[in-house]
Structure 1
Amino acid sequence: MSHRFDRGIESRGLRRSPVDPARVDREIAEARADLSAAKRTLDQADYKWAIVKAYYAIFHACRSLVYSAGYSEKSHDCVIVAVQDLFVAPGTLPAFVATAMREAKAAREAADYGLTDDDGTAGAIIRDAEEVCRIVIEYLGDSAPETAE
């Protein structure tokens, strides 16, 4: 594991936890709901909220991976580190998953704090969220309940 992963364990930002399939499923359901909301708000030209919801779709999808591996986290950065070390580094999932979360997090922070948002960024983050959700759901097996579009 990477130094960042080890630091996360030492600081208790990452902790071993029993795998709870219902918890994993709840995260996937939340990812789907956030992705659906991101698409709706993009259609309403609410670009900031579309970016925020698309980021959270990616976050919840990635957190489901962390939970499925028997870990829990205390920060969004710990989710990125865990996905990178547990799934990307060994070649289980493409680097795109961790990269998309990093980039979406930066876009969300820019939209929230820098008040910079636009339709191009929102559309790109939503497309990334769709792909991350597809990859994660395919990897985990589609056991989470569907949400309405």
Structure 2
Amino acid sequence: MPIAPEHRWLYPIDWRELSNLIRFGRAKGRCEHCRRPHGRDVLHLGDGVWWDEDASRWRDGQGGVLRCLAAPADLAGAQPGFAGIDPPASMRVTRVILASAHLNHDPGDNRPRNLAALCQRCHMRHDAGEHRRRRWLNAFRVRAIGDLFA
């Protein structure tokens, strides 16, 4: 996720190198929560379940193996398209991009144990509570300013 200009000063000068070390050194190019690979198109069902081409298995939102689903080629009837198949309407394809996330939501705390390499889905889920809190504060601030000048 891009850094907001007003928060840029909170990050260290070497943030790009630190982020690369976390995403590709420690996490080896995979999300540390669900194991999705960086830079690849991933077939998924929209509820966190995704097809791991390397292992030829379905995985859940935490990276665990699901054994109850058939392979995408079996579900789609082996038509050409993504990885040799044309996904049915219930399946979607998404490009995975890893980002370094602050687990405690403090951009000034850059200890390795506070950073995690997360795909966009896991990052948004991790930050959902913080986003709700900020939306509420911004709405409250706008109403308070309106009360001052009304």
- TM-score by length of structure 1 reads 0.24
Q: Which has the larger radius of gyration?
A: 2
Give the structure with the higher percent strand: 2
Relative contact order higher in (CA < 8 Å, ≥ 6 apart): 1
